[in-house]
Amino acid sequence: MGREILTVVETVSNEKGVSREAIFEALEQALVAATKKRFYEGTHAEEAQLRVEIDRKTGDYRTFRQWTVVADEDHEMPACQDAISDVDPAKW
C-alpha cells in the first residue's frame, strides 16, 4: 500500500496546491479514526490512544497504541516510570 499512499499524496498536492506534509498528517489522522472504528468500536474507542506514522519516503505506515499501566491495587492512578521499569514481564 506504500506506493499508493505516495501516489495519492503527490496527486492531491499537485492538483489542489496543498503541502505534502498537510496531506500526510490528514492521512495519519484518518488511519487513526479508521483503526478505532474497526478495532475499538463499542469498546470505549475514545480512550484508545493511537498514533499512526507514515514513512514519507516509502509510504509504509505503522500504527501504535499507548497503554496506561496501573498498579493492581489502584486502577485509577497510573504507575510511575520507576515502578514500571522494576516489573519483570516473565512473571505475568
How far apart (Å, rounded) are the C-alpha atoms in residues 77 and 70? 6
Per the model's pLDDT, the better-predicted residue between 69 and 78 turns out to be: 69
Q: Which amino acid is at 87?
A: V
Q: What's the grid cell of residue 55?
A: 514513512
- pLDDT at site 37: 86
- pLDDT at site 92: 47
Summarised one tens digit per residue, pLDDT across range 46-61 is 677 899 999 999 999 9
CATH 3.40.50.2300 fits 2-91, yes or no: no
* Residue 92 DSSP symbol: -
Provide the mean pLDDT of the chain.
83
Work out the number of other CB atoms within 10 angstroms of the CB of residue 9. Answer: 22
Residue 68: pLDDT band (50, 70, 90) is: confident
In Å, what is the CA distance from 50 to each residue of 20, 27, 33, 80? 22, 14, 9, 21
Q: Chain centroid to CA 70: how far? A: 21
